[in-house]
Every structure is written in C-alpha cells, then in structure tokens.
Amino acid sequence: MNTTKKIIMMLALAFGLASCGGDATQSSSSKKGAMASTNAAEAVYVAPGEHDEFYSFMSGGFSGQLSVYGLPSGRLLKVIPVFSVDGEKGYGFNEETKPLLETSYGFVPWDDAHHPELSQTDGVPDGRYIFINGNNTPRIARIDLTTFETAEIIEIPNSGGNHSSPFITENSEYVVAGTRFSVPIPQADVAISSYKDNFKGALSFVSIDPDHGHMEVAFQVLLPGFDYDLAHAGKGKSHGWMFFTSYNTEESHTLKEVNASQNDKDYIAAINWKKAEEYLAAGKGKDMPADFLINRYDEKTHMATSHKRNSVKVLLPEDCPGLIYYLPTPKSPHGVDVDPTGSYIVGNGKLNANLTVHSFDKMIKAIENESFAGNVEGIPVLNFEDVVEATVESGGLGPLHTEFDGKGNAYTTFFISSEVVKWSLETFQVLDRIPTYYSVGHLMIPGGDSKKPWGKYLVALNKITKDRYLPTGPELAHSAQLYDISGDKMKLLLDFPTIGEPHYAQAIHADVVKGNSKKIYSLEENEHPYVTKTEADSRVEREGNQVHIYMTAIRSHLAPDNIEGIQVGDEVYFHVTNLEQDWDVPHGLSVMGAQNAELLIMPGQTETLKWVPTKSGVFPFYCTDFCSALHQEMQGYIRVSPKGTNTPILSTVGE
Amino acid sequence: MKSSARWLTILAVGLLCMLFFYPLWRITLEAPQYPEGVTMYIWINQITGDSPGTLQNINILNHYVGMKYIEPDSIPELTYFPYIVAALGLFGLLAAFINKPKVYLFWAITFLTLAAAGIFDFYLWEYDYGHNLSDTAPIKVPGQAYQPPLIGSKMLLNFNAISYPATGGIAMGIGLFLSFVSYFISKRFSKKST
C-alpha cells in the first residue's frame, strides 16, 4: 500500500512538473484557485443562525465514522460514530451499543468506512437512511436520519475488503457488497499460492426491509477471484442491473501493483439482479454455511442486539445463464458510474488517460445477439467494440470517479493529474477542467449518482493536503474542496478540512431531511429493561456480585447521588435514564477510575455504564454535559468497601 | 325580531362551550436559549404545553428560583370548572327558552361574575406561584417575584413572560359580550311591544 502510494506520488510529481512549468508567482496565485472569483466568500457565507442548503454526509475513511457537514458553508454539524468506538458519546463503551460492534470474530472496535449511500425512492435520495461500508472486517451500517445514529450493522460473509459497497438500487431494494480481496470460500487453511484454484470473489446483495430498514443478506453470486472494486446500480431503463468494476483479472496474489496491472482490459461485471430473483424463486440458490452477525439497535429499548446467521444463499453463474456478463474495460477500472438516465455506464480506468463510456442499449443488443468475445469460467465476455459508446479523450491521467449534474454533463476526478474534468454526455467532449489540491479521489455532487442531481455544487474529496492549511505536524487533516458548477465554468469556492479521510460523500437537500429530525426520545415509550421513569423509582439492587443502579438525571441532580454497599470487584451497572423531555438537554455520567468512557444520554434515553471498582474508598461521579446553571453541582459519591464487608446498600438523594 | 335575543344567547352559549375544546389562557416564556419559546396553555380542566414535556420543562426552570411545581392534580379548580361552565351554559339555554329580559340580565350578570371570579382565581394562583418561593432555592434574588402578568408581558429575570387569553378565553369574552347584547335587545323589544 505504501509502495503504491509512493509510486503514484512520484507520477503525480512528474506530471505536476510537466504541466505547470510556468513562473512561480503565477502558479502560486493560481493555487489559491479561482479565489479571485470575487463572490466566492458570499457564495459560501451562511449567516449566523441561518441553515445550510444541503446536508453532506462525508465518510470518515479510516476513522470509521460518518461526519455531517453543511453545504455550502463546510461547517461540521455532527460526527456519527459507526464502526469505531467513540468515547465522546460512549459509543461501543456503554452496554447498549457494544453489540453493534460485535462480529463473528468478536468485538471489533474500528473499521475503514468508505462510501456513504443514501436510501432512494424512484432513483432519488429520500432522506430515510444512509448506509456506509466497513471495508476491513466486511460490514454495512445503516444510519437512521431521524436520529442521525447507527441503527444497524450487518456483517458480510465470504468477503474480504468490502469496498464495492453499499451502492443502492433505485427503490432501495438492495445495497451491494462486493469483495475487493478474493478469499477462499468457504474460508480454508490453504497455500496463498493456490489463489487461482481456491480463491473466489463473492458479490452480495443485501435486502432492505421497506418498512423498518432491516438488512439481510438476500443472496451472493460467486465469481472468479478478481478484485471487485466499485459498483453502481442501473437506473431507469437499466434498473434491475448492477455494475461492478474488477481489477486483478490476472488473479495474482502478490505484488499486485505490478502483477494486477498487466491486462490491457479488465471487466465491468453486469449482474441482472431481477434474473437472480427469478433463479432464487426457482430454487437455484444453494445454502452455504456462513457465520455472521446482524446487529440491530432498537429505538424503544435503546439497546442493540446481535442476531446470528448460519448460512447464506449462493448463486453460481454456471447454474444461472443470463445472470452475469463481463464488459471489457481498459486499465483496471476503479469507479463505475451510471448517468441519470441509466443509458451510460462510465468505466474510470485508473491507469488510463481516457474514460470508457459503455452503452446500456448496446449491451442489451449484444446479449440478445449472443455476440460474445469468449468466456471466463463460463461467464460470457462481451466484445468491447459492441458495447462501447464513446471514449472520452480527457487530457488528464488517472480517472477515478464520475458524477453527474442532471443537465447533461459529467464530472470526472483525475487522481494523478489532480483535477476535475467536466465533459458532455452528448458529445463526449471535454468542456472544462479545474485543479484540485491535491490528488482528488471521489467527488460528490448532491444527488450526483441518482436520477435527479441537485447540480449546483461539487465537492472534491482529496487524498493529499500538504500546504493547504496551517501545518499541524506530520499528520494533516484531509481536505475537501467545494466548487460552484452552476455555470459553464467550474469555480472553486471553499477549502475545508475533514475528519479521517473524506473518502466519499453524499449530500441531500436539507428540506428532505430536517423536518424528520427528532428532538427527544419519548420517556413514556422508553422500554429499556432498566429504565427508571421517575426519581421515586431510583434505587440500587444487588444480585450476587452484580449491582444495578437505577439512576435518573434531570436538571440539576442525579438520583441517587449517595450510594453505598458496593464492594471491590463487584460488577456495577449505572443504568441512567435522562428524564428530560426538552430539546438539547443531554446529561452525561462519568465515574472516577472507571476503565470506561462516559455516558452521554439524550432526553428520554437510558444508557448503562459498567464499572468494576478496583479500589475501596469513596469516589465521585458527575454529569459531563454542561446541562444547566447548576451543572457543576450535578454530582454524587459512591462508596466502595473491601470485598466481603457488609456495608448495607444505601441509595439516597437529598437526605 | 323577538327571536334574535334567543339566537344570540344560543350563540353565546356555543362560544362559552368552546372552553371545552380550546384553552382559556396562554403563557409564553421567551429567552435566548429558547428560540421557539415555551408556551403553556391553561384550560378549564387541564394544563398543557406545546409539547408533552412542556410542563416538566417549565417546572425545571421554575425550581431554580424555588417556585412550586405546577401539578395539575393539585389544582382543584381544574376538576370543578367544567361543571361550572356546563351549568352556566345550561342556564343560558334556559334563558333563551324563557326569553325574558330579566332572565337574560340575570344570566349575563352570572356569566360576568363567574368569568371575573375565574380570572381573579387565576390571578391568585399566579400570585401564589410567583411569590410563595422555597427558602432553599438555588437562585435567590432579593425582592424578585416571578408572577407572570395577567395580560401583557413582563421580564422575569432572563425570561420574558407573555400572558394572553387563548382561543377559548377569547370566545368566552365574545360570549359574555353577546349575553349582555341579548339582554339589551330583549329589553328594547319588550318595551316596544308594550
């Protein structure tokens, strides 16, 4: 990985030198971008107290989280913990959220989150959920956009490196999960050099329940052991198809930067998932043993629960003719992007200068004519010339991703030449280009991978930051750049740093989401097994060496706030219910010496902090969220006696 | 024209009975950190807010200055006011049936007396909540009382308290006015006819 980065940076350097050999002053002023564009500040200025026009959901990349930014201001609104524990919110530390991070490997406290994907209705983001993939230990998370909290995490079996995920179909029927690293299926202790014989690539279709959003692995398609990199669903006329890019069709297992870059063309795999449904209904799916977990958070009990699954339905291409075709696409295609009409499938060959645009109509025609160039392990390969609509002569190098403005234009990022190129879906000619700072990966136009983009802004999500901000030592925040794309020429408006790596992002008009955002949880509807709904019910109960503290929090005291009868080595559970029913009055709880994080409890919610005291004495606990004028008084003491003593249970407040 | 007093009275009874469906009074508290304001509605039989948690939220704010908790269960008026209103309504219908100036006058005066007594009672509760403060209140400001105005607005520490009749109260006021109009119409008509 490091070597790859080095090589790419060297290439970038080489091209940088070649392309901007102008005088130093010029290049430094042009680096400030079209900042000259006098009204840039005005365009991104959102006055104090005013709201942004768009919610932008940016992946935290290797932070494992999902961040929410307002556009056009670039203001950070929230970091939603998803795949990584977060002490700030007690996520993965409190008893309620721990199950969300459980996997078949046990508790995994981190992942690499790449692609946020909004749920869609009729091909348009509907603002109900946003999904994001965990790349390292293959998972998909669903975040509920009424609470902006992680509601579910499903583990993907038979997968390794869940990168081509979680791209969604136009009515949120499925999110997909293609494996970037093929692995032995089922997992087996085999020689790595037996890759070609033993390794397979699984593409998973994860169904989404239309009512409550619950995910299940509906089926998997087992394919040759390539690296399946990215995906996008067909839309409109191509609805019912899913397209995955692949590289390493060489099926190498070592030094892939060289060995996986040998074939002139790799494939885009076109999967007819409607056909897959027919094959499943006809009983062609094979049950394959697979251990994985689905973790669901219940908003009424305020708890997550892990559900075990033991098998998965698998479709094999040889049993299912017409299920899958390979479209030859030059130079290790990375992103595969489908235009708003569903007519064109853009393959971004990352080691190429040009872009390949396939035609869906031509693909269907070639399939009908059975005009095949051959097959790979029984999978028909179409003729490149039969399916290609156009090759865009970009003038850049290293295309990665393309999004659309809904006005007949496409925008493609070029990592190596560090720029965004705008081109026409009619003439396939380049219309405009603008530099990015530096080495852009994904780009995002609000709704830009849907049927109806809001084609006003474009955000470049950059991999390299260097000198863009005040230096902060060797490690720098990654950078995002906002461009105005409403006119003929793209204009740079704003630079802003992001958390982790802003790998990919999606954005949606604020009006679709903001009205559904919850302010509190109803205390009346709280079904947590350890809820305490009134202060009068607060108490301490001992069960063997477990002590359950039923605690309430309300401005500005905790009840009970004097607790005795705890012994060293007890398992002490603080079940704290926030009795508030007012907007933006969270309470926190922290306990001195607890090898744990704080709790951060929203109004009407119950959360549990587990503490195993290691020393006897009297220890303070307090509210951590500045809740009120008497927040500093919101504190209490818990007395821990040596093991075996018989200090009676005491649970009081105000006595 | 003899029937117009009768119809006006029935209308006045209808307006009075809106008290069963709409609140009598509203008190809004405004402060910078409450951009939407906190509004409490006083009905003849309950106290509500613009959200289910409003009353609790107001009580939390009030407890810092030592005000008593506003607990609808501890306000007996909320249990018997509906009967008084119902009785007053029946009386109105009876007056309309009898259709005599004296009865109309008696009804209108009863209406006025009860309405005035009700509002005075409301004032007394406001006075009690605003002045009867706990000695152990965390925030004590010498000389400061927290009685919201009956009508109008007043700054109570950081809160601007705004108090006005609500839909039911306004309807009741119009009903009260109509009850007197009925009397005068009835009286004029009976004079003419004699």
pLDDT of residue B3: 82
Cβ–Cβ under 8 Å, residues B84 and B64 = no
CATH number of A32-516: 2.130.10.10
Across the interface, whether the CB atoms of A580 and B60 are under 8 A apart is answered yes
User: Closest residue of B to A585, CA-based?
Assistant: B57
Q: Which residues of A touch B138 (CB under 8 A)?
A: 629-630, 633
What is the distance in angstroms between the Cα of A630 and the nearest Cα belonging to chain B?
8
With a cut of 70, list the residues of chain A below it in pLDDT: 1-38
B169-189 confidence digits (pLDDT tens): 999 999 999 999 999 999 988
Strand pairing of A650-652 and B47-49? unpaired
Provide the ipTM.
0.88
Beta-strand runs (E) in A365-465: 372-376, 379-382, 388-392, 399-404, 409-414, 419-424, 430-435, 440-444, 457-462
pLDDT of residue B189: 82
Q: Which residues of B touch A633 (CB under 8 A)?
A: 138
Q: Does B158 reach chain A within 8 Å, measured CB to CB?
A: no
Cβ–Cβ under 8 Å, residues A360 and A238 = yes
Q: Is the alpha carbon torsion for A83, A87, A93, A94 positive or negative?
A: negative
pLDDT of residue A352: 86
For residue B1, what pLDDT band results from cuts at 50, 70 and 90?
Answer: low
Mutate to test the interface with A, among B34, B59, B60 (most CBs of A within 10 A): B60
Rounded to whole angstroms, the maximal C-alpha distance in chain B is 71
Q: Does B60 reach chain A within 8 Å, measured CB to CB?
A: yes
Distances from the Cα of A57 to the Cα of A61, A68, A79, angstroms:
12, 5, 9
Mark out chain A residues that contact chain B at CB-CB < 8 A.
520, 522-524, 554-555, 579-582, 603, 628-630, 633
The length of chain A is: 655
User: Closest residue of A to B137, CA-based?
Assistant: A630
Extents of the domains making up chain A: 32-516, 535-652
Of A554, A580, A629, the CB nearest to B64: A629
- What are the helix (H) ranges across A455-548? 510-513
Of B57, B64, B139, the CB nearest to A581: B57
B56-94 confidence digits (pLDDT tens): 999 999 999 999 999 999 999 999 999 999 999 999 999
Label residues B119-139 b or e (16+ Cβ within 10 Å = b): beebeeebeebbeebeeeeee
For residue B44, what pLDDT band results from cuts at 50, 70 and 90?
Answer: very high
Mutate to test the interface with A, among B50, B57, B140 (most CBs of A within 10 A): B57
Report residue A462 CA to chain centroid gap: 17
pLDDT of residue A37: 53
Scan residues 71-130 of B and list those with Cβ closer than 8 Å to A. Answer: none
Across the interface, whether the CB atoms of A630 and B64 are under 8 A apart is answered yes
User: Closest residue of B to A581, CA-based?
Assistant: B53
Q: Does B138 reach chain A within 8 Å, measured CB to CB?
A: yes
CA dihedral of B148, B153, B156, B157, whole degrees rounded to 10: 170
Residue A419: strand pairing partners: A414, A435
For the A535-652 domain, the top CATH level (class) is mainly beta
Across the interface, whether the CB atoms of A555 and B60 are under 8 A apart is answered yes
Q: What is the mean pLDDT of chain A?
A: 94
- Pairs of residues, one from chain A and one from chain B, whose beta carbons lie less than 8 Å apart: 28
What is the distance in angstroms between the Cα of A469 and the nearest Cα belonging to chain B?
34
